[in-house]
Amino acid sequence: MKKTLKRIFYLFLILCIPAGFLIEHEHAVFFWHKIPSIDVVFGFLGAMLLIGGARLLAHLVHKEEDFYD
């Protein structure tokens, strides 16, 4: 079950990238709206940026459970 779900996930992942080249942004305003499949880049880089940012933030603000007691 888990394996099947993973396979479907990867299949969609692979298919969604070329699909982006077939469809245009309906109301392109900024230059990145015109780049095909730009949301793939936003999705991955954004997630990595947030995970990295959260780890960095954790170093600064993560304290022991009874910090305020």
Partner 1 sequence: MLFILGAVLIPLLKGRTKQIYLLVIPVLAFLDILQLEAGTSWVYHFLGYELIFCQVDRLSLVVGYIFVIIGFLALLYSLHIEEDGQHVAAFLYVGSSLGVVFAGDYFSLFAFWEVMAVSSVFLVWYQKEKRSLDAGFRYLIMHIIGGCSLLAGIIIYVVNTGSIAVTHLGTSPADIFILIGFGLNTAFIPIHTWLPDAYPEGTVTGSVFMSVYTTKTGVYVLARCFAGMPLVAYMGGIMTVYGVLFALLQNDARRLLSYHIVSQVGYMVAGVGVGTELGVNGGIAHVFNHILYKALLFMCMGSVLYMTGKRKLTDMGGLAKYMPVTAAACVVASLSIAGAPGFNGYVSKGMVIASAAQQHMPILELMMVLAAVGTFLSFVKLSYFAFFAPNEEIRAKESPLNMQLAMLMTAFLCVLIGVYPEVLFRVLPFQPIHYHPYTPGHVLGTVQLFLLAGLAFMVAKDMLAPHRGTVLDFDYFYRMGGRGIVWVCVVPLSNMRFRLQTSSSRTIDVITRIAKNPIMLLEIPIAYAYFRITQGLRYIGGYSSSEMYNENLYRRPIGVGVLVAIIILFALALIYFIL
Question: Which residue do the tokens 């099947």 mark?
Answer: 4
Is residue 62 within the footprint of partner 1 (CB under 8 A)? yes
Amino acid at 57: L
Question: Which residue do the tokens 């949301």 mark?
Answer: 39
- Smallest gap from Cβ 2 to partner 1, in A, equals 10
Among 7, 30, 34, 35, binds partner 1 (CB under 8 A): 30
CA distance 52 to 46: 10
Q: What are phi and psi of 28, to 5 degrees?
A: -65, 125
* Interface with partner 1 (CB under 8 A): 9, 12-13, 16-17, 19-20, 23-27, 29-30, 33, 37, 39-40, 42-44, 46-51, 53-55, 57-58, 60-68
